[in-house]
Amino acid sequence: MNVICLVAGLLVAPLGEAVTLQWTHSIQKTLWAEDYRLQGDRLHLTSARVRGTGAGMEPPADAVYRDGAWHYTPALPLLPAVSLRHSPHVAPYVVCSAADCRPLPDWLPTLPADTVVDLKACPAPAPQQAKLVTMRP
């Protein structure tokens, strides 16, 4: 079974079968969000939201404005991965999994300041085995 993971070199953070990726546009300072769901070994971009327009951020014609953002469903094929540029020059991506939202470096604590991180399918971690501890009198 696969899960969605953040991967940067040898660093891997398993997230689950669905994630939300959020970021602030570096020029417009506008919040974007995308929802991904795992489908086999690919990512399905199920929905997206943007809180404004400009600088290449125009929502598609079928977008609906509600709750302060343009909501739409991108017409993309299943994706093998999404590459994220982590840089000290912009605010980090925020990744949400099962209502746990954290900046990218919190998911991968030893992440270099300037690197590429992939969001992609990876094997689910094995469940932790309980260790039997024998107490001696």
What is the rounded end-to-end Cα distance, in angstroms, of the chain?
43
Provide φ and ψ at 36, rounded to 5°.
-120, 145
Q: Is 40 exposed, middle or buried (0-12, 13-18, 19+ CB in 10 A)?
A: exposed
Q: What angle do CA 131, 133, 137 make, to 5 degrees?
A: 180
Least confident of 17-21, 23-27, 90-94: 23-27
Distances in Å between the Cα of 110 and the Cα atoms of 86, 92, 107 are: 13, 14, 9
Q: What is the pLDDT of residues 40-92, one digit of tens each?
A: 999 999 999 998 776 666 788 899 999 999 999 998 999 999 999 999 998 99
66 Ramachandran zone, left/alpha/beta (phi>0; psi -120 to 50): beta
